[in-house]
Amino acid sequence: MEKREELYAGKAKSVYRTDDPDRFVMVFRDDTSAFDGEKKEQLNRKGMVNNRFNAFIMEKLEAAGIPTHFEGLLSETESLVKKLDMIPVECVVRNISAGSLCRRLGVEEGLELNPPTFELFLKNDAMHDPMINESLAVSFGWAKADELARMKELTYQVNDVLKALFDEAGMLLVDYKLEFGRAGGEIVLGDEFSPDGCRIWDKETRKKMDKDRFRQGLGDVIETYEEVGRRLGIRFD
Ligand code: C5P
């Protein structure tokens, strides 16, 4: 497999074409951004940590029967993934109130949400990823109704798998964002799962162990990502 030209550079990852038209290389960079790119920093080791973290989680999800684009680690910061036709809609599940939910509804952080909520956001930086619903997604052609139903089903399945995984390691999975794409007529989990795209709290102390450390200037961002990984059994050396 040969890595070819860069196809797309996001805020923290880049995607490269390969000599196989159905496979891409996803590169995890050290770049970190928040607030739609307003706050930016390079965090040493972040690319490596998130690449390994994502590989571990994607393998757990595959083992639980959730189709993902992940094919394998290529290097410290690179993974091989299946080419997907990405759906420009973000799926967010929340087990505990935090972040934009608190700002939008004026509710306090830390309320248990039972059953967990499911929200859709449009992937559109210029519009700050506005919240949408199924009707809007279908009417504008971003996704079909049956695709959205499958995305919701898979997003909740991911919750069952990962909530238990974090719980066993002494952590709470507060919320997370997933992105999906189409491949061979199937809905497949794409993008990444790392502490950049979810909220994780220590079960006892409720210490924030995710990107909120960067957003809120709490410090020890990557050290804490590594602690989350180590508790799950991931090795970073
Ligand atoms: O900001 P908000 O509270 O809506 O985020 C919910 C979850 O989705 C958080 O874990 C956040 O890190 C993640 N998210 C993301 N990328 C976005 C929006 C949200 O990873 N563009």
Task: Write out the two tokens for 32.
Answer: 């970190």
Task: Write out the two tokens for 236.
Answer: 């970073």
Pick from 213, 210, 214, 207: nearest CA to 197: 210
Helix %, strand %, coil % of the chain (to 5): 30, 35, 35
Q: Which residue ranges form the domains of the chain, and what is each CATH number?
A: 3-82 (3.30.200.20), 85-220 (3.30.470.20)
- Asked if residue 52 has its Cβ within 6 Å of ligand 1, the reply is no
Q: What is the 3-state secondary structure (H, E, C) of 65-88?
A: CCCECEEEECCCCEEEEECCEEEE
- Give the pLDDT of residue 154: 99
Task: Grade residue 7 by pLDDT with cuts at 50, 70 and 90.
Answer: very high
Average pLDDT score over residue span 207-216: 98
- pTM of full prediction above 0.90: yes
Q: Is the pLDDT of residue 237 over 90?
A: no
Question: What are the residues facing 183 on neighbouring strands?
Answer: 186
Average pLDDT score over residue span 146-161: 98
Q: Cis omega (within 30 of 0) on the bond before 130?
A: no
- Asked if residue 83 has its Cβ within 6 Å of ligand 1, the reply is no
User: Best mutation site among 35, 175, 216 for ligand 1, i.e. most ligand atoms within 8 A of its Cβ?
Assistant: 175
Quick one: DSSP state of residue 14?
E
**Percent of the chain surpassing pLDDT 90:** 98
Tens digits of residue pLDDT in 52-110: 999 999 999 999 999 999 999 999 999 999 999 999 999 999 999 999 999 999 999 99
